[in-house]
Amino acid sequence: MKSGIILKGVGGFYDVLDTSAGVIYTCRVRGIHRKEGGKTPLPGDGVTFKVIDEKSLTGFIDEIGERKNAFVRPPVANIDQLAVVVAVRSPEPDLSLVDKLLITCEAKNITPLILVNKVDLDEEGTAEAISRAYGKAGYRVIPLSKVLNTGYDELHQQLKGCKTAFAGQSGVGKSTILNIILNNWVMEIGEVSERIQRGRHTTRHVQLFELAVGGFVMDTPGFSSYAVSDIEHTELAYLYPEFRQVIGECRFTSCSHINEPGCRVRELVEKGEADPGRYGRYIQYYRELKEAYDNRYRR
């Protein structure tokens, strides 16, 4: 029995990397596993598998390891780090999507990394404004530009040893960033031309690529739009790092951090220690989640 990690799954066949030998096997799921209602394998899963034919590099997955986290859309497991990509323009920054992805990171124990792309087009100080807003929350922000060759050395260092997925609205430059990674930092496994060609087209399946410095990057379609829906409104403030430091210090223990007097979160915003834009979007998400909660219990 060997140990490995699923790189890709298409049509019931899974590319499994033997992590000790660096060899990729094509595997199916053991029949008894399916009959017993076992969980569906996902890219990013750690597995044990048995080789059927060493010559054809085929086998079957015997067991799926415990998951750190998992997503339905995109279907992927065990993300360590999420690189949230936003452009300074073309398209205009969707900070609502950024915040929703950061909330998801906090809820699912994923380290977030914010990439501000296309800084060569920045004429209004947008990159600095984004860096300042999210820096107050303690997030690492890396300005990037392919044109200026800015930020890629720092990004390379941040990818080491992590399974990193990329997310962001359409057009922000995720494909450009991934192509640079695929060309420069990915292990030479399989056909390079096929791998690079894949990066130039719309991605249909989640795929992991092993980095020469250790870790993986994930080509993850499905993170271009995202909704915060699987948390309760009462949990939301705890998923904002800049708010967590003062939660419990408000005058009212059940403070929503919106209208109540003596609210320490509002005090942070008023003092400029938390970004007012993020706070405004917090209010919006809180009200949406509260309305969804009320509708569930009215039935």
Query: For residue 80, is pLDDT > 50?
Result: yes
Contact 69, 104 (CB under 8 A): no
Q: What's the sign of the alpha-carbon dihedral 165, 156, 92, 176?
A: negative
**3-class SS at 5?**
strand
Residue 199 pLDDT > 90: no
Identify which of 169, 102, 191 has the alpha carbon closest to the alpha carbon of residue 139.
102
Place of tokens 């990509």: 85
More confidently predicted of 189 and 267? 267
Reported as a single tens digit per residue, the pLDDT across 141-166 is 999 999 999 999 999 999 999 999 99
- Per-residue pLDDT, averaged over 97-105, amounts to 95
Q: How confident is the model at residue 99 (pLDDT cuts 50, 70, 90)?
A: very high
pLDDT bracket for residue 33 (50, 70, 90): low
Contacts of 72 (CB under 8 A, 6+ apart): none
27 CA to centre of own chain:
26
Helix 276-298 vs helix 126-135: crossing angle, to nearest 10: 60
pLDDT score, position 69: 94
**Mean of the pLDDT values across residues 95-117?**
96
Residue 51's H or E segment, with its range, is strand 46-53
Please give the average per-residue pLDDT across 82-110, as a whole number: 95
Question: Quick one: DSSP state of residue 252?
Answer: S
215 within 8 A of 164, measured Cβ to Cβ: yes
Give the tokens for residue 248: 């419990």
Identify the band that residue 187 occupies on the pLDDT scale cut at 50, 70 and 90: confident
Portion of the chain with pLDDT greater than 90, in percent = 79
Distance CA 153, CA 184 (A): 11
Closest by CA position to 290, among listed 265, 258, 244, 268: 258
Query: Residue 77 carries which side chain, given as an amino acid letter?
Result: A
Are the C-beta atoms of residues 14 and 61 closer than 8 Å to each other?
A: yes
The average confidence (pLDDT) of the chain is 90
For the segment 45-59, the average pLDDT, to the nearest whole number, is: 96
